[in-house]
Structure formats: structure tokens, C-alpha cells
């Protein structure tokens, strides 16, 4: 493990693994003098004369001068983005804004209500009434409903292989409109597969697969994923007979300088030296080519054609390895690197980390759900572009990390509007893109599982990882998927939207109904010679109504609501409260006027009892109007639990005045003629509220 940022001053075949910084598993060669031109340098991690803290030596040796230590290193800069902590989400800020809004109402209303009633009633009565009004305007069960709704949502999500670490993140999960993700393992299988075995003219040829199989099978070193892919493909093509037919004579192991591996095998008739390796390295040791069994000298045109085919395969997202052999081997006891010359080029094998079968349909469903997928990867442009094209992500425009480094934030924000693929990115560049997407007004999710993903997981609105991720990624994430599949993520998003929908139902109906009731009670307290309700009656009424809303976490959510992301918007809440609150207040005042002028009711206890029962029935019935943008009971049905609680608590509200509990809080039995008001006016309110709902939706384009 490299303990600091170092400048290499001596080096011998030094190869370093930088996956902790870049996420890419291939080892990188480090030299005394750079082999990379300034034009080829994409980002700081590409510097081949610098070793970075947190990376590890794969092979070779070197000496270096320490240039940065601890927090000043490149790794330290990455770590700093994690320790800064996650900024508050729109949901958290929204809840804080509601709290501040309600506190302002309480601070203003309490003295006003006290002053308005102090001249008619005793100071104690006026004060307790003012305090009760302040309490009534507050959604008392907001913490309980919020916690229970989020907890219920987390339980449902866990059944769909989505584990919620931080409850607040559920809202962001549902509100997410951009998903940033890496390529490897999310869009691809994260498993190398041998896709092609081609001769020198690009035609499929089983001879190439046979020679690659002999090389991979008989080499005695640690078999990498490439060797395993070759063996698996050969066995699928019934090449097991070669295992017994051929015997290993010798081998020349792989090293990072030659970038090739050779085996010597014998089938009883002849001895062959078979070599596989990087195209450039194999071309450098070949003097002949074999095409359909005919051997001819390699020419400049043939070399150019081979390089062209190799480049085209790269564009298709394939990693290309060349295969060559030599047959004229006689009287050699020990084979070495010096024998890897004057060889015959046979062809190529092409490997691919194939896209997941589910990726394309998942991307399509995410797009249909209003979620745009942006790929942020440390991999190269050609491979990433090929994979993205196959899974349905717009790949016309690809931006590299080196370009990002030179641009201002404003320029990057402009790019982000129509660019979905960013390649050769460092961890800090990924985190920067996530931050700028958030600053553009998006709710951004980031899916990653490596150390290099941690800054982006912290920077995002909702960090998503998988249970097989490294510890720091899981620690930084808000959501853990038990399966690295975008379909699992989509199921979680749907549950997140349901949870947010049920939470917003409570917040909007509680604030609007409470606001309306407080307005009407204040007006009535001024107009009437007695209080429309005593403080204790106000509190008990609010408690019963709140119990009815405790079932909202279990409510159904309309399918139309789940089709696009939803953000917490305090302005939308204010508009809803100021629109629906006065409407319910108007019906309250109709009740007051009817009792006073039509029924000539002057008895305070009876007046208060009718108002108490009406408020409970009206609010519980009105809850069904608020919970959906459709026509309730016909186009949209609540859950059985919501129906049950509404009916039960409405009955309790009607029965309480006839019980000893009602007597304790000053209620009296309701005369039968007044029951028509208690049942009839709420039904009338429902019809008017439906009409008002249509006006509101037409004006503001939303409901919940």
C-alpha cells in the first residue's frame, strides 16, 4: 500500500492498482519519465510518474520522493468530501419551513385571540382558549405520521430488496428525477465474456478459439477472468478433447513488460509455442500470418488492416487480445522470452463485459417514470458509449474528465442539460457533476459501490449502494439494494413515491383543515356571546380527528401520482392551505349562522356540542376529498383501514355527547333535528370541495 503521494525516481516494472481512486481494476504502469503526452492526459490519476496514497503495488519495485502527505494528498482531498457530511434534503428543509410557518401563526394568533376575547370572558378563559387555538392550528401528529409513514414505506421497500438506512431519504428516493450511475455492474454483468474469435481478416474461426483455449488452460499461473472466459467459451464449443490430447511442455509466464503469456504444448506429433497478449506486443514478435491454413509474410498493409480491425472491435466495446503460434520447435530443453520471435499471427479474441439483459427495459421504465439516467464512469469513451447504446442511453455526446477539468461550473451546467455520458472521471469530478446537477434544481440519486464513489454518494440527495459494496460506500449510502439491478431500484422508487404521497396527504389536509377551523372559531368567538367551543372540547375534537389520520400510512395511492417524481414544495403547501382552508371555514360559518339565525339556538352547551360533532364528521369526510385528485369512492378508493377509521371515529364523534365522557368535557345529548345539519352540511361540503378541486388543479396543475 502506497502511504503518500510520491514522485517516482527509480522504477523497475512497477504496476499499481488504482481502483480505490478510479474504480477501474486494470493495473497502471508507473515510470520515471512520462510516456503520456499532455493531450492524452485525461485527469490527475492518469499521471504515470506519480504514485498516489491509498493505491497498491501489483508488481515490480520503485523508489519515490514524497510530495504530499495525509490530508494534502489526492486521496485526502477525496476523503475530505466525505467528512463534510450530507447537506439537508428538500424534505428536511420543507418540514423545517412548515414548523417555522406554524410557529409564526401561533406567535401572532395567541395574543390576538386573547385580546379579542378578554373583554367578554375572564382572563383565564380567554388565555386558555387562545392557547387551545394555537395548539389546534398545529398538526399535532406530524412527527408520528411522518415517522410511521416512512417506517411503513421502509418495511414495504425491504420486501422488494431495498433496505432504507435513513428514513428521510425515502422522500428523496421518490422525488429523484436524475439517477447517476457507474457502468460496471449496474449496466453490465461485471463479468468478462469471450464474444469473438476472429482470423486476421475479421472472420469467425474456431482455430483461434482452440489456440486461445490451449494457452489459457495449460498456463499454470493464477487464471484471471480473461482465462476463465476463454475456457468457458471453449468448453461450450465441445473442446474438452484437447485437454487429454495435448500435454504441457513448458511455459513463459506473463509479465507487465512483455504483456503476453506463452505456453509450449505437444499433441504427440508436434510441439507448438502458443502466445496471447496485447495486439501491439504480438505484432512486434510476428513475421508471418496464417489465413485459413496458408502462411504468408506479414506486410505493412496487413499490419494496418489488423490495427483497423482491432480499433473497430474496441469501438464495439470489446477488449482485444491477439493470438500467435510457432511450430518449428526442435531440440529446445528450456524455453524463454528469446524464443518469442518469428511467430505466425493467427487472429484475435474479443472480450466484453456484456450489458445486463434487464438493463435496457429498466432504463426505459426509469425514463417513463420521469427519471433520467446519467452515466459517470472512470472507463474509456469507446467501451462506455457502446454499452450505453445497447441499453438505450443517448450516446451521441460523450464528455471526458479532462474536458470537465477545464470548464467553469456554469459551462458544465449547460453541458448537463443534454449530455448523459461522462467518462474518464476522477472521484472529485464525479462529485462535482452530482453537486452541479443538484444546484440546477434536480433531485439527484447516485448509485455506486466503490471507495471512489463515496464523495458522490455523500454529495447526492440520495446515495444508493448494494450489499456487496465496500464498507465506506455502504456507510455513505442512504439506501442499500440487495441486488445490483435497476429493476430493484425502480421498485424502491415506486414505494418511495407512495410513501411521500401519503405523507403529503396528511400535511396538506391537516394544515388546510386546521387553518380553516381556527379562522372560523376565531370569527365565531368574536361574534357570539359565548365561546363556540371550550378549550378542552377543541383539544378532544382535534385528538379524535388526528386518530382518524393515523391510518394514512396504509392508504392507497393513485397510479397517476406515481408516474413522475414529486418534490416537497412549501409554496405549493401555502397555496393549498390558503385555498382549501377558507373553503372549509365558509361551511363552518354556515353552521354558525344556521344555528344562530335559523334554529335560534342560544344554549351554549348544545351549540358547542353540535359544532364539536360536526367538525369531526366534516373533517373525516373531507379527508377522502383531499386524499385524491380524482372523485373519491368512485374513481379512487382509500384502503380498508382508512375507510374503517373514518367510519368508526365519525360514529364515536356522534356518540360521545351521549356518554359520561361527553358530560365531563361539557357536551350534552344532541336533539334529533340537529342531526340533519351534522350529516347534511358535510355532504354538501364534499360536492362543493369537488368543484373547488377541479378549479385548483386547472389553475396550479397539481393537487397532492
Round to whole Å and give the CA distance between 576 and 524.
Answer: 23
pLDDT at 433 (0 to 100): 92
pTM of the model: 0.76
Nearest to 30 by CA among 70, 65, 60, 73: 60
Name the band, by pLDDT with cuts 50, 70 and 90, for residue 690.
Answer: very high
Question: How does pLDDT run across 448-488, given as a tens digit for each residue?
Answer: 877 778 888 888 888 888 887 777 778 888 899 888 778 88
- CB count in 10 Å sphere of residue 388: 25
In this prediction, residues 616-626 reach a mean pLDDT of 91
pLDDT at 270 (0 to 100): 84
Question: How does pLDDT run across 250-295, given as a tens digit for each residue?
Answer: 888 876 667 788 999 988 888 889 999 888 888 889 999 998 888 8
Query: Higher confidence at residue 379 or residue 691?
Result: 691
pLDDT at 134 (0 to 100): 83
CA angle 161, 166, 169 (to 5 degrees): 85
> Residues 6 or more apart from 469 whose CB is under 8 A from it?
448, 449, 450, 477
pLDDT at 691 (0 to 100): 92
Residue 395 clears pLDDT 90, i.e. is over it: no
Name the band, by pLDDT with cuts 50, 70 and 90, for residue 614.
Answer: very high
Nearest to 642 by CA among 443, 502, 455: 502
pLDDT at 651 (0 to 100): 93
Most confident listed range (137-141, 277-281, 404-408, 606-610): 606-610
C-alpha cell at 534: 371550550
In this prediction, residues 313-326 reach a mean pLDDT of 86
pLDDT at 471 (0 to 100): 76
Name the band, by pLDDT with cuts 50, 70 and 90, for residue 386.
Answer: confident
Round to whole Å and give the CA distance between 432 and 445.
Answer: 14
pLDDT at 42 (0 to 100): 62
Lowest mean pLDDT among 20-34, 108-122, 679-693: 20-34
In this prediction, residues 35-50 reach a mean pLDDT of 71
Name the band, by pLDDT with cuts 50, 70 and 90, for residue 14.
Answer: confident
% of residues, the chain, pLDDT over 90: 18
According to DSSP, the residues that pair with 57 across neighbouring strands are: 16
Q: What radius of gyration do the chain's Cα atoms show?
A: 36
pLDDT at 61 (0 to 100): 83
Handedness of CA 423, 425, 431, 435 (dihedral sign): negative
Catalytic residues: 182
Round to whole Å and give the CA distance between 451 and 427.
Answer: 9
Residue 701 clears pLDDT 80, i.e. is over it: yes
Nearest to 273 by CA among 245, 250, 303: 250
Residue 75 clears pLDDT 80, i.e. is over it: no
Query: Higher confidence at residue 274 or residue 26?
Result: 274
Residue 694 clears pLDDT 90, i.e. is over it: yes
C-alpha cell at 216: 489459457
275 close to 323: Cβ distance less than 8 angstroms: yes
Name the band, by pLDDT with cuts 50, 70 and 90, for residue 47.
Answer: confident
Residue 81 clears pLDDT 70, i.e. is over it: no
In this prediction, residues 124-146 reach a mean pLDDT of 83
pLDDT at 84 (0 to 100): 60
CA angle 406, 411, 417 (to 5 degrees): 125
pLDDT at 664 (0 to 100): 93
Nearest to 555 by CA among 640, 616, 648: 640
Round to whole Å and give the CA distance between 638 and 102.
Answer: 29
Q: What is the mean pLDDT of the chain?
A: 85
> Residues 6 or more apart from 551 whose CB is under 8 A from it?
639, 641, 642, 644, 645
Count CA within 13 A, CB hemisphere, residue 680: 8
Name the band, by pLDDT with cuts 50, 70 and 90, for residue 361.
Answer: confident
Name the band, by pLDDT with cuts 50, 70 and 90, for residue 624.
Answer: very high
Lowest mean pLDDT among 326-340, 354-368, 534-548, 605-619: 326-340
Name the band, by pLDDT with cuts 50, 70 and 90, for residue 673.
Answer: confident
Residue 184 clears pLDDT 80, i.e. is over it: no
In this prediction, residues 207-217 reach a mean pLDDT of 91
Nearest to 384 by CA among 182, 200, 579, 190: 182
pLDDT at 212 (0 to 100): 92
Residue 341 clears pLDDT 70, i.e. is over it: yes
Name the band, by pLDDT with cuts 50, 70 and 90, for residue 85.
Answer: low
Residue 696 clears pLDDT 90, i.e. is over it: yes
Amino acid at each position: 500500500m502506497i502511504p503518500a503521494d510520491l514522485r517516482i525516481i527509480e522504477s523497475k516494472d512497477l504496476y499499481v492498482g488504482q481502483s480505490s481512486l478510479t474504480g477501474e481494476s486494470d493495473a497502471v504502469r508507473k515510470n520515471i519519465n512520462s510516456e503520456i503526452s499532455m493531450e492524452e492526459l485525461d485527469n490527475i490519476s492518469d499521471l504515470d510518474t506519480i504514485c498516489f496514497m491509498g493505491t497498491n503495488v501489483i508488481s515490480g519495485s520503485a523508489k519515490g520522493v514524497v510530495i504530499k502527505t495525509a490530508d494534502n494528498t489526492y486521496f485526502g482531498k477525496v476523503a475530505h468530501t466525505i467528512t463534510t457530511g450530507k447537506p439537508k434534503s428538500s424534505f428536511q428543509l420543507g418540514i423545517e419551513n412548515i414548523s417555522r410557518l406554524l410557529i409564526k401563526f401561533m406567535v401572532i394568533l395567541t395574543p390576538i385571540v386573547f385580546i379579542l376575547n378578554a373583554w367578554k370572558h375572564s382572563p383565564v378563559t380567554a388565555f386558555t382558549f387562545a392557547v387551545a387555538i394555537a395548539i389546534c392550528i398545529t398538526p399535532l401528529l406530524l412527527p408520528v405520521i411522518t415517522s410511521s409513514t416512512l417506517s411503513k414505506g421502509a418495511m414495504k421497500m425491504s420486501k422488494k430488496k431495498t433496505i432504507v438506512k435513513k428514513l428521510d431519504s425515502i422522500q428523496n428516493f421518490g422525488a429523484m428525477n436524475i439517477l447517476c450511475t457507474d457502468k460496471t455492474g449496474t449496466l453490465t454483468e461485471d463479468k468478462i465474456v469471450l464474444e469473438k474469435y476472429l482470423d486476421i481478416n475479421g472472420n469467425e474461426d474456431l482455430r483461434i478459439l482452440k489456440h486461445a483455449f490451449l494457452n489459457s488452460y495449460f498456463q499454470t499461473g493464477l487464471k484471471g477472468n480473461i482465462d476463465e472466459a476463454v475456457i468457458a467459451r471453449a468448453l461450450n464449443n465441445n473442446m474438452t478433447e484437447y485437454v487429454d490430447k495435448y500435454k504441457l511442455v513448458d511455459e513463459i509466464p506473463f509479465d507487465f513488460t512483455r504483456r503476453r503469456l506463452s505456453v509450449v504444448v505437444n499433441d504427440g506429433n508436434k510441439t507448438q509455442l502458443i502466445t496471447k497478449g496485447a495486439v501491439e506486443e504480438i505484432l512486434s514478435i510476428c513475421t508471418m500470418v496464417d489465413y485459413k491454413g496458408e502462411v504468408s509474410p506479414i506486410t505493412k498493409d496487413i499490419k494496418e488492416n489488423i490495427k483497423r480491425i482491432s480499433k473497430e472491435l474496441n469501438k464495439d466495446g470489446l477488449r482485444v487480445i491477439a493470438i500467435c503460434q510457432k511450430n518449428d520447435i526442435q531440440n529446445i530443453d528450456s524455453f524463454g522470452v528469446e524464443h518469442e520471435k518469428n511467430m505466425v499471427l493467427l487472429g484475435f479474441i474479443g472480450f466484453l463485459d456484456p450489458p445486463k439483459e434487464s438493463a435496457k427495459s429498466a432504463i426505459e421504465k426509469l425514463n417513463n417514470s420521469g427519471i433520467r439516467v446519467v452515466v459517470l464512469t472512470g472507463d474509456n469513451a469507446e467501451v462506455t458509449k457502446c454499452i450505453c447504446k445497447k441499453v438505450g442511453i443517448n450516446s451521441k455526446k460523450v464528455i471526458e474528465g479532462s474536458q470537465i477539468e477545464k470548464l467553469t461550473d456554469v459551462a458544465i451546467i449547460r453541458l448537463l442539460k443534454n449530455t448523459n455520458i461522462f467518462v474518464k472521471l476522477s472521484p472529485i469530478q464525479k462529485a462535482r457533476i452530482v453537486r452541479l446537477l443538484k444546484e440546477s434544481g434536480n433531485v439527484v440519486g447516485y448509485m455506486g459501490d466503490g471507495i471512489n464513489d463515496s464523495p458522490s454518494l455523500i454529495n447526492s440527495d440520495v446515495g444508493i449502494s448494494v450489499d456487496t459494496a465496500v464498507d465506506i460506500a455502504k456507510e455513505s449510502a442512504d439506501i442499500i439494494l440487495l441486488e445490483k439491478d435497476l429493476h430493484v431500484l425502480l421498485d424502491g422508487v415506486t414505494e418511495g413515491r407512495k410513501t411521500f404521497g401519503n405523507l403529503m396527504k396528511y400535511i396538506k389536509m391537516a394544515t388546510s383543515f386546521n387553518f380553516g377551523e381556527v379562522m372560523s372559531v376565531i370569527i365565531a368567538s368574536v361574534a357570539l356571546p359565548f365561546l363556540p367551543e371550550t378549550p378542552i372540547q377543541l383539544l378532544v375534537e382535534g385528538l379524535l380527528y388526528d386518530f382518524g389520520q393515523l391510518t394514512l400510512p396504509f392508504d392507497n395511492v393513485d397510479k397517476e401520482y406515481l408516474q413522475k417524481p414529486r418534490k416537497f414544495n412549501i409554496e405549493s403547501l401555502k397555496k393549498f392551505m390558503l385555498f382549501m382552508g377558507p373553503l372549509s371555514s365558509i361551511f363552518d360559518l354556515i353552521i354558525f349562522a344556521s344555528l344562530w339565525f335559523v334554529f335560534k339556538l342560544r344554549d351554549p352547551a348544545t351549540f358547542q356540542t353540535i359544532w364539536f360533532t360536526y367538525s369531526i364528521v366534516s373533517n373525516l369526510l373531507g379527508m377522502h376529498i383531499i386524499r385524491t385528485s380524482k372523485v373519491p369512492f368512485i374513481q379512487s378508493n382509500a384502503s380498508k383501514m382508512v375507510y374503517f377509521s373514518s367510519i368508526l371515529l365519525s360514529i364515536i364523534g356522534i356518540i360521545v355527547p351521549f356518554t359520561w365522557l361527553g358530560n365531563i368535557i361539557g357536551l350534552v345529548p344532541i336533539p334529533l333535528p340537529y342531526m340533519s345539519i351534522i350529516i347534511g352540511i358535510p355532504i354538501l361540503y364534499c360536492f362543493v370541495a369537488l368543484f373547488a378541486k377541479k378549479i385548483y388543479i386547472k389553475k396550479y396543475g397539481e393537487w397532492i
